[in-house]
Structure 1
Amino acid sequence: MYYDPCFLHYSDADLRASDDTALGSAFSTAYSANATAEPARFDRVVAALLNATADYAAYNSSRMRLYASGVVPFDREIPEVYSWAQCTPDLTPARCRDCLANMIQELGTPLYSVGARALGIRCSVRYENRPFLDGPVMLRLPATGAPAPSPAPALDMVPNVVTPLAAVGGGRKYSVPGMVLIVVLPTLAAANLLAGLFIWRRRRRSPARAKQPCKDTESVDSMLMDISTLRAATGDFAESNKLGEGGFGAVYKGTLPDGEEIAVKRLSKSSTQGVEELKNELALVVKLKHKNLVRLVGVCLEQQERLLVYEFIPNRSLDQILFDTEKGEQLDWGKRQRIIRGIARGLQYLHEDSQLKVVHRDLKASNVLLDADMNPKISDFGLARLFGRGQTQGVTDRVIGTYGYMAPEYLMRGNYSVKSDVFSFGVMALEIVTGRKNSDTLQSEDLLTMIWQHWTSGTVLEMMDPCMNNSFSESDARRCIQVGLMCVQENPVDRPVMSAVGMMLGSDMVSLGAPSKPASMFYTRNAGADSGNGFSISTISLNDDPKDHF
């Protein structure tokens, strides 16, 4: 298991007893975006940076660390490129360098992607066009426009590795600078020469592989589908195949030639969701893989059509069943618990467990689809935002979402974060247990206020959905409502993160805090809202700060 800050592995073989530094199957992954300006020079600069970082990790870092981080300036488009290399501490410096050479080759050539990593059992390497480490950078390469890279940094590494020696043999005295020249430089030159020859021989043996892209990289191009295929699958977008329609287009059911059922999201030609917004949704969804997220099958951008093709979810959206007095009986307490926990797992993946940190921004009952077994799948990433490492919140000048689900700080000030998604989840959890919609204008009070009043008076179970005919665990129901109330507290700091929510929902051994009064839904600011049904289609504002966009 690979996470950014740690790595876990087990095996029935003693890895330390083997001389093979490539034990196990290493894998690589790269960003889909490429360096558009001077890609050939970018390839040379990144290759030089990775090799210099590998040298530093193997030969210049602490014996118990075998670790290094580096940075090199590039150009205006990509100001700097950052690197990281590390080996397990049981390796010798030479074996560490060999292992890192394998990992660098695993990235393939040319290195046009703006970021990539190769992860192995004994060592790993990584580079990105933005900082991804908390600690100080250990190695800085100078900017260069030379046609060929230097195999290692010049003298940047020297001051950190030489310790003064008083005398060497026969009492002859040497100064520290002299020892640097005598001991360090020849060692570095020999190591770099051996490493360069090793990499050159490996690449010469497998030229075909060097031209192949990283095996785990998925590009949008690989998911392109023909318009003729989708027209045939949907009966030329027949009205009888329409599953639902939102403010920016419709969704149709279709069947591919191999029998796979699909849902085709067709943006209307008058839709204000442009190509950039479509790319936002596409670029995010294609990288996200989780059983509680809707799977993207393909995309079509032919004949002025903008089509996203998803897996077909037979039971459509949660709101069509939950808020229907007759269909609501299909959701017994066990199914409702499973739906709430599944949504929580999907959000935890988006916020904490995926390589991308994603804020959905439009989580609601109509954007949760139910498969044949009533398992939930989060859909519609048109409003989603990708957060950078260390980023905790974003701000937008124009708020677009669905009234009743938007957190107060987003609705009033345009501030969004993972905690605004937590708020939306809390609203949904309370809707699921009560069968009532928070934004129902027929109610004199919003759902959160009603539940809080019953909670403080000790009669909260009276709010449970009558469709369940009291066939639920009272302790589980109270626990679920309490977690929901903790998620909708007005101050984002008071709301739990989704990993904590999952623990609280999954075990009665986890103690819960006392929730405070939830945020009121009655605000004076108007917020855009889309019409949500089975496959609602949202837009994002073109007035958002460009930095918000993925």
Structure 2
Amino acid sequence: MMAHHILRLAAIVAAAALLLQVATGYPWPFCGNSTFKANGTYQAHLNFAAATLPKNASASPDLFATAVVGTVPEQLWAMGLCRGDINATDCFNCLSLAFPDLQNDCSYINNAVIYYDTCMLHYSINQLLPPEDDYSSSTYYINSNENVTSDAGQFNRLVAVLMNATADYAAHNSSRRFATGEADFDQEFPKVYSLAQCTPGMRPAQCRRCLADLMSQTLEGLTNNIGGSMLWVNCTCRYDITPFFNGPAMVRLASPIPSAPAPAPALAPAVPPAAAGEGGRKYSVAGVVLAVVLSTLAALNLVACVCFWRRRRQRAPAKQPYPMYNEAEDMEMVDSMMIDVSTLRAATGDFDESNKLGQGGFGAVYKGVLPGGGEVAVKRLSQSSMQGVEELKNELALVAKLKHRNLVRLVGICLEQQERLLVYEFVPNRSLDLILFDTEKREQLDWGQRYRIINGVARGLQYLHEDSQLRVVHRDLKASNILLDANMNPKISDFGLARIFGRDQTQAVTARIVGTYGYMAPEYVMRGNYSVKSDAFSFGVMVLEIVTGRSCNDCNGTTSQDLLSTWVQVWEHWDAGTATATVDPCMGDGSFPVGEVLRCIHIALLCVQADPAARPIMSSVVMMLGGDTMTLEAPSKPAIFAGNNNTAGNATLSTVSLQG
């Protein structure tokens, strides 16, 4: 029996390597891999569920509802669950928002889930909930990015015991499968608060097992953290040092747990319901001590299986070039996206010039219509490309994992007959530069549309830099790589120069400098250094282009002084308090919100500063754009001009390999 438990613990530890950690903040959408056709049957089913499920869930005493719409093979199954302490109105509002948000974040994906602070929504095709013990691809934890500064071991033990006590109450003492908890800690953090919830249809034993397995896989990843959420479709847990639920706690640990050898918090055992007094609302000191002793025994088992597991891994080290990269799995995903070259030749009229959408440094892009009627954009990589097929497949396997409303979605690949074709979703309004820098078309862009484009690009970059399972530096952000959908929403495209960073990596250096001059940060041009801050520089240049209507490449000079003199003028106007004089006259005289426009100029000037450390990260940019509550620092003069002369600028130009 002991051997069986050790093997089970080992399996749990191994499975934990598959978890996805994300930073704090709601909402959090997670997208599957399979897709459905736009305006088809599945979309109609989604629309029906969106119109009925929020009302049904908010009217339910459990704030929970499911919906099954249509028949196989395009049957939709949806589930909405609200936090057990909110009211019906808040539940309705949360789920009503969840449907459009999830469809935006996971466009045309038929299996997706989104978590908010007060509700969650899941829908899928032809299936009900995932099996109770299938956590391999859909379990997540969110941390608060702040750690305990004193007595961390005691804090971790308290969190483990409190979370298990709360889970017990949710499973065994609540018909709604919901519970909240509270415990005393110390002077630094007087209280710790907790919450546990399962879908109401679960039996008590099912709910408790779901919560136990979820915590065993995720709580260890939150060690020393002052707060965190553990998310799965069937059950969720949360703790924090500040109150986040309504009403009094259902579980109360009145006394701090004694200082004892620290058990592994991820596997703290359940506090038996029999140990609770007053209907399960309070736990005796004896019960807590028992929990700690049992936790220590579980920890010894865990240590043994971890050592065994690590020894096995050391004997056969795996080559893992990127975080969360599984070569076999990713190659299988790429293979599933393969499209015959004959299909794409027929779709594009054999790459007829009349279907050509544009030309870039890596090849031409053609509009195509697939046999089912779906419109796509087919990027035909140049035959002179230095990239090998296997390298391309590895890169595509990574890019295919990136799913966000402000990123162009890759839908197919073709590597036949010496062709290298990438098939993307078709974005009807083409690229931003074709509108922004056209003297007639730019009048279509009022300030509201320009502001939405700025916000969307910032959110897309935040996802690439901070929120995705990968950490991606784009390296070629520019107006021609921002595509606009039918509603003028922006989508970042062209990841040909993108690089994947490790989670702890902040910058890299290259001897082969490629990109588009005018958008490249000075540290990249001069020394080959690139990072998320070099993307921030490119973003700042693009924002200035959007506000002024002027391209950074519309000068004919050969020096850096000539090339970016426009942005120096903007900075000088901002410094003099006359920045509105630089606004694109196509937006009308005074017909735009002056404060909002000035704030965008201010943010852009912060992004194009010479010192990378002075530039904001994209999550800060998103917060700055979100309102005027943040006080912005004064920006220094734009990069390249401070302390540089024409000779230096010319010397730099000679080392740059430009891409169109």
TM band (smaller chain): 0.5 to 0.7
Mapped to 1, the partners of 2:404 and 2:358 lie a distance apart of 24
Distance 1:65 1:227, change over 3 A: same
Deviation of 1:99 (Å): 4.7
Match of 2:485 among 371, 389, 395: 371
Deviation of 1:66 (Å): 4.4
Match of 2:570 in 1: 451
Q: Please, which moves more after superposition, 382-391 or 442-451?
A: 442-451
Match of 1:348 among 462, 467, 471: 462
Match of 1:258 in 2: 372
Letter in 2 for 1:28: S
Mapped to 1, the partners of 2:593 and 2:231 lie a distance apart of 48
Match of 2:352 among 214, 232, 238: 238
Match of 1:338 in 2: 452
Identity rate, percent: 60
Distance 1:215 1:268, change over 3 A: closer
Q: Does 1:64 align with 2:158?
A: yes
Q: Does 1:28 align with 2:117?
A: no
Relative to total residues, which structure has the larger helix share, 1 or 2?
Answer: 2
Q: Does 1:386 align with 2:500?
A: yes
Distance 1:25 1:505, change over 3 A: farther
Aligned-residue RMSD, C-alpha:
4.3
Mapped to 1, the partners of 2:594 and 2:340 lie a distance apart of 53
Mapped to 2, the partners of 1:520 and 1:469 lie a distance apart of 32
Letter in 2 for 1:366: S
- The alignment partner of 2:622 has SS state of helix
Mapped to 1, the partners of 2:374 and 2:419 lie a distance apart of 22
Match of 2:614 among 494, 498, 512: 494
- Cα-to-partner distance string for 1:391-421 (whole Å, 9 max, x where unaligned): 1111112211110001111111111111111
- TM-score, scaled relative to structure 2: 0.53
Letter in 2 for 1:64: L
Match of 2:399 in 1: 285
Contact 2:211/2:236, CA 8 A, preserved across alignment:
yes
Mapped to 2, the partners of 1:352 and 1:335 lie a distance apart of 25
Q: Does 1:442 align with 2:556?
A: yes
Mapped to 2, the partners of 1:440 and 1:229 lie a distance apart of 40
Match of 1:169 in 2: none
Mapped to 2, the partners of 1:302 and 1:87 lie a distance apart of 54
- Cα-to-partner distance string for 1:477-527 (whole Å, 9 max, x where unaligned): 211111110111111111111111112112122222111111026623131
Match of 1:528 in 2: 657
Contact 1:280/1:382, CA 8 A, preserved across alignment:
no
Contact 2:132/2:210, CA 8 A, preserved across alignment:
no
- The alignment partner of 1:250 has SS state of strand
Q: Please, which moves more after superposition, 422-431 or 391-400?
A: 391-400
- The alignment partner of 1:219 has SS state of helix
Of structures 1 and 2, the one scoring higher in RCO (CA 8 A, sep 6+) is: 1
Match of 2:362 in 1: 248
Contact 1:28/1:216, CA 8 A, preserved across alignment:
no
Mapped to 1, the partners of 2:515 and 2:407 lie a distance apart of 20
Match of 1:227 in 2: 341
- Cα-to-partner distance string for 1:329-376 (whole Å, 9 max, x where unaligned): 111111111111111111111111212111111101111111111111
Distance 1:104 1:517, change over 3 A: closer
- The alignment partner of 1:496 has SS state of coil
Distance 1:468 1:123, change over 3 A: closer
List alignment gaps of at least 5 residues for structure 1: 15-21, 31-60, 68-85, 107-116, 125-158, 163-182, 196-213, 532-550
Deviation of 1:264 (Å): 0.5
Contact 2:553/2:563, CA 8 A, preserved across alignment:
no
List alignment gaps of at least 5 residues for structure 2: 1-18, 28-80, 86-129, 139-154, 169-204, 218-229, 238-260, 265-292, 306-327
Match of 1:82 in 2: none
- The alignment partner of 2:497 has SS state of coil
Q: Number of aligned residue pairs: give it.
A: 396
- The alignment partner of 2:657 has SS state of coil
Mapped to 1, the partners of 2:394 and 2:603 lie a distance apart of 32
Mapped to 1, the partners of 2:23 and 2:446 lie a distance apart of 41
Match of 1:464 among 578, 583, 589: 583
- Cα-to-partner distance string for 1:89-137 (whole Å, 9 max, x where unaligned): 6457x9999558966999xxxxxxxxxx99576689xxxxxxxxxxxxx
Match of 1:430 in 2: 544
- TM-score, scaled relative to structure 1: 0.63
Match of 2:419 among 283, 299, 305: 305
